Every structure is written in C-alpha cells, then in structure tokens.
Structure 1
Amino acid sequence: MELLPAERNARIEQRKTRLNERLLREHDGSVIFCDASSQPDGHSQGPSLATLPFAALIEKLHREAQRSGPVGMIATRVSPDALPLTIVFVKPTASAFELLTAAARAWKTFAGSSIRNLLVASHGLEPAFSSRVLEAMTTAALAATAAMPALKSKPPRHVDIERITLNGEGGIDADRVLAVDRGNHLARWLTTLPPNVLTSGNYRRALTTLARRCGWGFSFFNEAALRRLGAGAFLAVARANEHRDAGIVRLRYRARDRRRVAGKLALVGKGICFDTGGINLKPHKSMYQMHEDMQGSAVAVGTLRALTDLDAPYDIDCWLALTENEIGPRAYRPQEVIRASNGVTIQVVHSDAEGRMALADTLALATREKPSLVIDYATLTGACVMALTERFSGAFTNRPDWRTQIELAGRASGERVWTFPMDEDFDADLDSPVADVLQCTLDSKGDHILAARFLNRFVPAETPWIHIDLAASNRSGGLGHIPTDFTGFGVRYTTSLLLDQQLLGDRPHKKATGKQAAGKLVRLRK
C-alpha cells in the first residue's frame, strides 16, 4: 500500500474563443455555465440559449424542465458520439460554497463516463463572475478525479483527468488551483489510510519521503528527546502505545527569495493515528472512524505542500504530533497531574481529551521559535460538531480584531468557518485544586471553547494564534466540491487566509513564476 498519492499531471488550458460544436467534440465532456437570472418575460433564464452549440436540443430540454419550476441544470448527450454535456444555471450572487457545490453536482452528471479531457465554459457571464465559475468547476473536477487509497484484491478502475480547457471571459490562477488540489488530495489520502497502514512510524517514514521530494528540512523529536524537553503532556498520551515510535515531526520550508519574506509561519497538526479513548474507552460507534483523528496533521502538511508549490513568501515550520491513544496498563489516567514542556501542570480529567494534551507540548515547542503566526488544526471536539454540524469548522484566535478576516477567508474559499468567543472568564471553568489547569470538564459544556482556552495556556500572548477545530473534516457524502467523506477541509481555507486576507506581512502575495510543478502546463490562447 502506497503511503503517499501519485503525483498528478493535469493540464489547464485557458482560451477565449467562440463556443461551437467543434470545440465540444474535442473533449470527452463539457460543462457550460449560464446566468440563472430571470429575463423580463419571467420564463427564460440567462442569455439566449439559441447561441449555444446544439441550441435546438438545449432549448427543447429547457422548456420541458421549466414546467417544474426554475431550471438549475440540464444534462444531455450530443453529437454522433453521444458526448455528455451539462448546462448549469448560476446566479451572479452565488457564494463560493454554492458555486463549488453546483460544480460538484455538475460533475456527477458524468457518472459512467470516462472524462480525460474536460471543457468548462461560461456563456454570457461578466468576466469576474466567469472567473469564479471556471475556478469552481476546475477545482471540483480535480477533487472528483483524485485517486483515493484502495486495498481491494481487484482495485477499481481509475480514470484521472488529463486536461481541462477553460473557455470564457476572465481567467483563473491555474498555479494556485493545482497547488491547492495537490495539498487537499494529500490530506484526504493520508486520512483515508487504514490505521494498520498509517501507524505513527509509517507516517514518519512517509513524511521523510515527502520532505525529500519537496525540499523540506526534516527533524523528529522521539520519546527520549521529548523527555529531555519535559513534554509530559504528549508523552502521557503516547504511554500506552505498544510500539515506541510516537513523536513530533518538524518540517521546514524556507522562502527562496529572501528579499520578500513576509513573515514566519508555524503550522501545527494533531496526528492521533488511532484513538481508542484510552482508559475512558470509546464505545464502538464513536471509535469506528478514529483512524481519522490525525486529519489535523494531514491538513497541516497538505497546506505546507500547497504553499511550497506556490513559492509562498514565508518561512514555514510544520509541527506534527504523531501518536496513538491506546489502552493498556501504562495508559494515562484521570486525576494524574502532568507537567507540560512550558512548565504548566495539568490535572487529567478524561483520557479521551488526548488531542489537547498532544497539542499542548507541540504548540509550546512551535512557539519557542517565535513565529509571526501560528495556525493549528485538529479534529478536537464533538462539541464543535454539535454547535456547527459538519458544514462549518470552528475558529478561535487570541487576536479578536482578526475575526472578520478569519470568516471572510471562509466565505471567499467556500470552506466556511465560524469564530467562537475566547473571553478570559471561561478559564474559571478550568480551575484545578491541585494543578495549574484542568484538562477539560466533566459535563463537556462548551468543550470546544474550553479546549481552545486550554490550548491558549501554551501559546505566549505575544504570538498571534488561530486554532481550527475541524468539525467539517468528515461529512457523509462530502462537502462542497469534495465528493469523499473525508474532506481535507483547511488547505483551501488557509491558502485564502494567507494569500487573500494577507494576515502575514503587509505586502500582497505575488504569484510564483519560476517554479513549475511537474507535468503542469498553462496555455493562454485567444
């Protein structure tokens, strides 16, 4: 079983040419986006369908569909080869999430077809809106065709997309679309691997290989090194593991152009490769998917991969807390008092609150390097899912004036977040009679907020910090443009947060031109 996904070689070509039948026949399938705004007569939708290729058929299907109300999508087959064609009607006011969702639905109309060469076109849309729909469909097509791990004795046939031709006004940043896709694919791939494949040791070995491919620095703090550092919180979680291969991985990326370094970023990820709950053992239903409890680390490394491919103007350290939370005679127990690497003592309440323990030491180590910004990712609390469902993820920050930018990045990217309060008076609920802080409370009220307040103890006040509780990391049937249950939520979001909202530095990000990913080709044609 491969621990890392194969590199993808999709090409994106951008054109501005007449939309005709010949262009459609050059591709295995086509998607055309039209304006859904009603015309003055109240019956037609968008620009005249009479100017589209195969207009007579499309107008006929449109009239038939209108009998049931507004038309959102028409799927048919055209030409002697019965090539699939989907017409999508979208409103110019549609959000990024709505466009990504519509694009994913459009792709599903190709079920049963092998699409290697896809045409994505806009018809009569304003340039800015055209760019948005072209980007959404490209993103959805790439996500839908990304191979996932398969361990069947007869692996299913997989057809990867080779070329996406974009035709319409405006354009997209193809470098960024491909980079974010690679990062998201990596995050989803790692999360899908079974727990007997992605053990802590195998995860470390996979990261060693990935570091060589991407030119990252690699170091590993094993249990002996962590004992010397006093990382008692992490080591408590790792104590019951049969294999002594837990530890904290540090990956290092340094901006190539030293003149435009905009800041130092730390990405931190929870990497619990399997979570039994420990002494406070989970019931079967809650434990069944707990190989996914490392998704925070997968998102962190996927984000690092995307930013590396974009030659992002930051120095980045990526810290990944890799362990299992097992049960056994050495497992840590309620009422133990543990000392973390920054000296804070923790009264253990529940062994299934292991994620905040592992992150406590990892955050403390990461912030010793004095980064300009820390972002951590974790599938941390069920309380966040209860508060938001799996449609949003929770965000917390020690910089209250960033809340607007944090949520704007979610709306702009289509990976939506909601910021929760971080007021100091919540700390009273974590007062301990015997230690500096309680690990959690018994009743779990507002546990997502209390978990963030707990982690706040391990981030110096002078260090800007954002904590993402990944409530949207697993949604049955997928979310937005992602068709798999494991969504890789956070790679696309963080790219938008950094490059669009520009939380690091005061200079806009300039698109890289020197470094091209293998197999990538972008052609601009008139």
Structure 2
Amino acid sequence: MSPSPSAVRRNLVLPTEPAPALSSAAAGAADKLDVVLAIVTLPLAAGALRALPRSTRWQQLHARAPARAGTVRSGSLGNARDTLMVLGYAKAEASAFERLTLAARMLKEAAARHPRSMGLCSTGKGTAATGLLEALIAASLACAFELPSIRAPAHPEGRLQKLVLLGEHSVDTRRATAVARGTNLTRWLTALPPNVLDARGYRQAIARLARAHDLKLTWLDERALKRAGAGAFLAVAQGNHSRDAGIAHLQYRPARRARGGRADVALIGKGILFDTGGVNLKPHRSMLEMHTDMSGSAVALATLVALAELRAPLAADAWLAITENNIGPHAYRPQEVVRAANGVTIQVVHTDAEGRMVLADTLALAARTQPRFMMDFATLTGACVHALTERMSGVFANRPALAQALYEAGRASGERVWAFPFEEDFDADLESKVADIIQCTVDGKGDHILATRFLSRFVPAEIPWAHVDLSASTRTGGLAHVATEVTGFGARLALELLLGPGLRKALEAK
C-alpha cells in the first residue's frame, strides 16, 4: 500500500540521515580509510608530497605525467586495504570557486568507490592550504548528502560515515560544517516535491527547526496579514485552494541579548512553493521545475539556522513569504490595484510577477522592526538568468559599499555574484496612471533591475538593504562543489558576508 501524503510529508520534510563525522588524525591513519584525497598547488614546492601518507606512492602518481592546474589523477595507496588515493592540482592563486570546482572533480572520482571513510589533506601552509582543505570538506559534505527520494537508496552499503583531516591543519571545522549544512538544508528543501513541501509541510519543517535551535517563531496567517494590510501578499495567496499561506518570522538572539530586541540583520526569502504563473499561465517547460521557486526562503532559513548553530554574536531575524501562485476562480488578475502593508498601491500587470508582490509586503513588515541591515533572497526574474546564466547570481544594494562587500563575499565563498545598477531614473519605467507604481512592464526589458527598483519602494531608504536574485539556484550539471542540479546557492554567500568583516565595514562607510 502506498504511503499517505501526510506520512510522506512527515518522513521527508527534513533530512534524517546524519552527516559524516568529521575528525582529525595523523597522516598514518590513512591505512584505515577507503579513500584519501590530497590537493596540492602548482608549481609544486620541493618536498611538498613528503608530508602525505605513504609519500612514495603520491610521488609516483605525480610523476606519471606533467601536472596541470585543475586536473585530477588517482591510484592505489598500495596498502592492504587498497585505499584509493586521489590527487588534485590547483593554481597557487586559485579562487574559491576554482578550489571548490576542483574538489568536486576529486569527489566524483572518489564517489565511484562508495566509500564509508575518507581522508582529506592538502600540502603547504597558511591561508592557501586552509582554503584548499576547506574546499575538500565542503565538496565531501555536499557529495555525501542525499537529496530527498521516495525510493530505496541506490547504494545503502556505501554511505559515507567518516571524514578525517590528515596531518596538521588550521581549518575552522565548526564553521565549515555549519556552512555545509546550510547549503545542504537549502538543497533539501528546494528539491522536495510540491505535495510534500506545501504550506502546511513547510510550516512543520520551520517549527521543528525553530525548536531544535531555540528560535522564536511567529506565524502570520492570512487573517493576521489582512490586519497588517498586506494586500500584495494576499492577492497572490487568494488563488490557493487552502488557507495555509502565511509569513514565518523567526528570531535568533545570541546569549545576553534580549529576545525581542532589534535585529542586526533581517533575512527575507521568497517562498513560492509552486508557481503556475496564475492567470498568466506558464507553458509546460517553464512550469515544470516551479517547485524550486521557494529557494530564496530556504536560503534565508538555512542561513539563520547556521548562525544559531555557530552561536554567532549578531541578532538575526528571518521572514519567509510562503504561498503558492495558483490559477483558479479567485486568482488575482492583471489590472487589479492592491495596497501593500506600507500603504503603496500597486497596479498588477502580470500575475507571473508574483514574487515581487509577496516580497513587497514581507519587506515592509520586516522594515517595521527597524533592523540594522536587510537582505532578501529570491528566484525573482528570468532576466537575471539571461544576463548571467546560472553560474552567478545578481545582487543589488542601496549602498555602493554594500554592493562591493557582496561581490567580495562572493569571491571569498565561491558563490559568485555580480552587481547591477541601482539608479533612481529606472523608476520612470514603473509609473502608473492609476496607482503609486506598476508591478512590472509589459516588454520585460531589464526586469531584474526594474524588479529591484519596485522592491525598493517597500524598504525605507535609511535601512541598508541588499537584494539577491538567485539565478544560480539551479544549474544542469551542478555548480562549484555541488554536483546536483539544485545547487543550494546563497547560504555560503550570506554566511561569508555576515560572519566576515566586510558587512561591518560596508555599514560604517559613508
């Protein structure tokens, strides 16, 4: 008998398999492992391979052919266990994205063995060696993570259970694993089928995460949103067959900070659980993957959870706009005029521009709490994909220094971004004869820019704000260290920005 939808939802809504245990050991522990991966920089320093376990075997592997950056080779460690050794070559000045991409190639070689234990090591010292080893950790945890599947595992005997860092290292393993879990949680939620991650299932997942990480959760249902004047969100939600839509507000406060105090950062996420396009119905090819249109909310949620896991010193909120965009007798229509929570009236032009509608009210409600910084994540426009492909995501900021900080966080994290214009003269294209603003233009030119200018009407100018258009949330063949189509893009970027010095400097800039 097939499981009921509620049973499937209960079993799948959050991952249950434990992540591989991460530990450190001397190089000699390699003989007890199924696979050992070593990543080295070119030009290879004299004696660089001597620090590796059974160094003679690595030297022989290296001597097979001239080494080129970005390449991978493998062989046997020559021990009784026949441990597979995988050697990767990186440029000394390799970017974070290049390091992660190389690590993914190495993991693809290792995964063919279905290992239960793996050792990771890099040669050299300092930040370069640390960056290489962190890339291997990120790729290993991404490779070991299985996306939701309602079928038997393909290789139940080969689940990776143990990761061992061999030799001396200075990697912050606590942060590395929290960031990896953030990416994997984003991937999991984004990949769930829409009948599992419906509004009710998502709310259950959020509640479980809130309890597990001591987060305060407030659920604003449709009645509460009506009282708040959130007409833009409710216009989209009114086409749903159930009344389960709402906005989740979560709060993380570090020790000795008041639970209800002002947030240092508010993370806002678009959570469209399935997007039909509404009355302006999407064609089949465009609709097929629209269960992933909630990945922005997954990024915001996963980032908040990672901050809580790390007990980060900053107070953070997450605001998740959760609904579907359906077609039906009550669905909103072009040319309707609705009023958002901050009083701005919107002339609807295209019902498939629903993301900016739900974000408008969510941004306005988050702004009422006066956070020191706001950052939203959304799979918002096809225009951003056309501009950047799925290799990068687009960013916008209402402070030049903030846009620069985002770019640098993208370089450091390996989740690359590109900043687009945020000039006021674009607003002329959003003028309406019957409302304060039109939702979008008919021709769609520069829609990623105009969508951001639209959203800016719901963020007070005095609050520093960044918008991330997640054009890299899915990519055929994967991206960087993630081999699956669902990339989990956004959590690494956000955590790099929030945990590093770049954000503080940007907010202090004139």
Indicate if the aligned counterparts of 1:361 and 1:458 stay in contact, CA closer than 8 A.
Answer: yes
Q: Deviations over 1:151-202 (max 9, x none)?
A: 12x3433444333222345411111011112211111111111011111121
Instruction: Decide whether aligned partners of structure 1 residues 401 and 128 sit closer, same or farther in structure 2, where only a CA change above 3 A counts.
Output: closer
Aligned length: 493
1:34 to 2:27 alignment:
no
Indicate if the aligned counterparts of 1:263 and 1:505 stay in contact, CA closer than 8 A.
Answer: no
- Stretches of 4+ aligned residues off by more than 4 angstroms: 46-61, 68-71, 504-507
Secondary structure at 1:472's aligned position in 2? coil
Instruction: Decide whether aligned partners of structure 1 residues 70 and 405 sit closer, same or farther in structure 2, where only a CA change above 3 A counts.
Output: closer
Secondary structure at 2:65's aligned position in 1? helix
- What is the deviation of 1:77? 2.1
Q: Deviations over 1:59-118 (max 9, x none)?
A: 45444433x977822111232332210111212100001001111110111133232322
Secondary structure at 1:425's aligned position in 2? helix
- What is the deviation of 1:55? 5.2
Indicate if the aligned counterparts of 1:405 and 1:501 stay in contact, CA closer than 8 A.
Answer: no
Moved more, 233-242 or 27-36: 27-36
Instruction: Decide whether aligned partners of structure 1 residues 220 and 70 sit closer, same or farther in structure 2, where only a CA change above 3 A counts.
Output: closer
Partner of 2:365 in structure 1?
Answer: 365
Instruction: Decide whether aligned partners of structure 1 residues 89 and 70 sit closer, same or farther in structure 2, where only a CA change above 3 A counts.
Output: closer
* Distance across 1 between alignment mates of 2:215 and 2:460: 27
Q: TM-score, normalised by structure 2?
A: 0.92
Please give the residue correspondences for 1:184-199 in structure 2 after superposition, counting only pairs within 5 Å. Answer: 184-199=183-198
Unpaired runs of 5+ residues, structure 2, are: 1-7
What residue identity is the alignment partner of 1:486? V
What residue identity is the alignment partner of 1:10? P
What residue identity is the alignment partner of 2:210? A
Please give the residue correspondences for 1:304-323 in structure 2 after superposition, counting only pairs within 5 Å. Answer: 304-323=304-323
What residue identity is the alignment partner of 2:38? I
1:136 to 2:135 alignment:
yes
* Distance across 1 between alignment mates of 2:44 and 2:130: 21
* Distance across 1 between alignment mates of 2:193 and 2:460: 36
* Distance across 1 between alignment mates of 2:262 and 2:370: 14
Indicate if the aligned counterparts of 2:405 and 2:502 stay in contact, CA closer than 8 A.
Answer: no
Indicate if the aligned counterparts of 1:334 and 1:349 stay in contact, CA closer than 8 A.
Answer: yes
Q: Deviations over 1:126-172 (max 9, x none)?
A: 322111111110111011101211112x3433444333222345411
Partner of 1:126 in structure 2?
Answer: 125
What residue identity is the alignment partner of 1:183? G
Partner of 1:524 in structure 2?
Answer: none
1:156 to 154, 157, 162: 154
Instruction: Decide whether aligned partners of structure 1 residues 36 and 398 sit closer, same or farther in structure 2, where only a CA change above 3 A counts.
Output: same
* Distance across 2 between alignment mates of 1:254 and 1:49: 46
* Distance across 2 between alignment mates of 1:395 and 1:48: 40
Partner of 2:207 in structure 1?
Answer: 208
1:3 to 10, 13, 18: 13
Q: Deviations over 1:398-438 (max 9, x none)?
A: 11222221100000010111111100000001011111101
Instruction: Decide whether aligned partners of structure 1 residues 453 and 84 sit closer, same or farther in structure 2, where only a CA change above 3 A counts.
Output: same
* Distance across 1 between alignment mates of 2:262 and 2:40: 40
Q: TM-score, normalised by structure 1?
A: 0.89
Unpaired runs of 5+ residues, structure 1, are: 40-45, 508-526
Partner of 2:491 in structure 1?
Answer: 491
Indicate if the aligned counterparts of 2:70 and 2:90 stay in contact, CA closer than 8 A.
Answer: no
Partner of 1:330 in structure 2?
Answer: 330
Secondary structure at 1:256's aligned position in 2? coil
Moved more, 69-78 or 138-147: 69-78
What residue identity is the alignment partner of 2:65? A
Q: Deviations over 1:34-61 (max 9, x none)?
A: 222168xxxxxx6465775555554454
Partner of 2:31 in structure 1?
Answer: 25
Partner of 1:74 in structure 2?
Answer: 73
1:303 to 2:303 alignment:
yes
Q: Whose RCO is larger (CA < 8 A, sep 6+)?
A: 1
Partner of 2:410 in structure 1?
Answer: 410
What residue identity is the alignment partner of 2:16? A
* Distance across 1 between alignment mates of 2:293 and 2:273: 6
What residue identity is the alignment partner of 2:175? R
Partner of 1:246 in structure 2?
Answer: 245
Secondary structure at 1:104's aligned position in 2? helix
Q: Deviations over 1:282-314 (max 9, x none)?
A: 010000000000000011100011100011112
Moved more, 410-419 or 1-10: 1-10
Partner of 2:441 in structure 1?
Answer: 441
What residue identity is the alignment partner of 1:373? F
Moved more, 408-417 or 104-113: 104-113
* Distance across 1 between alignment mates of 2:472 and 2:75: 33
Partner of 2:4 in structure 1?
Answer: none
* Distance across 1 between alignment mates of 2:426 and 2:187: 34
Indicate if the aligned counterparts of 1:275 and 1:293 stay in contact, CA closer than 8 A.
Answer: yes
What residue identity is the alignment partner of 2:155? R
Partner of 1:165 in structure 2?
Answer: 164
Secondary structure at 1:383's aligned position in 2? helix
Instruction: Decide whether aligned partners of structure 1 residues 150 and 246 sit closer, same or farther in structure 2, where only a CA change above 3 A counts.
Output: same
- What is the deviation of 1:14? 3.3
Indicate if the aligned counterparts of 1:272 and 1:321 stay in contact, CA closer than 8 A.
Answer: yes
Instruction: Decide whether aligned partners of structure 1 residues 132 and 464 sit closer, same or farther in structure 2, where only a CA change above 3 A counts.
Output: same
What residue identity is the alignment partner of 2:31? R
Partner of 2:341 in structure 1?
Answer: 341
Identity of paired residues, percent?
50
Indicate if the aligned counterparts of 1:27 and 1:118 stay in contact, CA closer than 8 A.
Answer: yes
